């Protein structure tokens, strides 16, 4: 099982790397894709990450889904890349799993795949989402069909759990809960992943 994560300069560190890490913990193969001529991509915090592949070398047929991290500049760079938009449309036509967080939904909006979908995002991005079905203000994570969106960095682990649930099932989510001690946090605060799923 393979998943791809698009990276562009200005991506939000936590939102990209947490999802990559958690998916790998769940034994999902992840490829990071640079949209530049170089494999080296600079995060919002000026940390340089070396991606696995360049966009020009990407062959999409073997992937079950894709993820768009936030970070306003990174999301804008992805939004303005026509090849990324074409791949998102292709994945949507094939009903593959698509996820975005924070500012990331602006990329899905540009691809035109949210017209009949419930969506959330970082609150200040709401007005930029002008081609959606319904904006959801009161949920931290929204899955509508094959598309999952979330609000921001502090919620990244829950987005990762949702992707693991979709791709591998709830038993695998429980396993990662134990391995990351998310279960201790949920127990302390008396919250439950099932509550938000």
Residues annotated as catalytic are 102
Longest Cα–Cα distance of the chain, Å, equals 47
**Which tokens hold the place of 153?**
């960095």
Cα separations in angstroms, 127 against 4, 71, 130, 187: 27, 16, 7, 36
Compute the distance between CA of residue 50 and CA of residue 149 in angstroms, rounded to an integer: 25
């Amino acid at each position: 099982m393979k998943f791809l994560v698009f990276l562009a300069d200005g991506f939000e560190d936590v939102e990209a790397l947490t999802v990559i890490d958690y998916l790998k913990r769940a034994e999902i193969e992840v490829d990071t894709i640079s949209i530049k001529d170089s494999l080296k991509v600079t995060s919002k915090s000026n940390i340089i990450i070396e991606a696995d592949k360049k966009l020009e070398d990407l062959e999409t047929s073997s992937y079950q889904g894709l993820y768009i991290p936030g970070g306003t500049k990174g999301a804008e760079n992805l939004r303005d890349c026509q090849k990324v938009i074409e791949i998102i449309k292709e994945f949507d036509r094939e009903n593959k799993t698509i996820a975005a967080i924070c500012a990331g939904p602006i990329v899905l909006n540009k691809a035109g795949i949210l017209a009949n979908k419930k969506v959330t995002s970082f609150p200040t991005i709401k007005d930029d989402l002008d081609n959606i079905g319904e904006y959801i203000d009161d949920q931290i994570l929204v899955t509508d069909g094959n598309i999952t969106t979330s609000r921001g960095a502090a919620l990244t682990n829950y987005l990762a759990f949702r992707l693991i649930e979709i791709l591998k099932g709830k038993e695998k989510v429980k396993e990662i809960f134990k391995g990351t001690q998310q279960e201790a946090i949920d127990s302390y605060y008396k919250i439950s992943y099932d509550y938000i799923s």
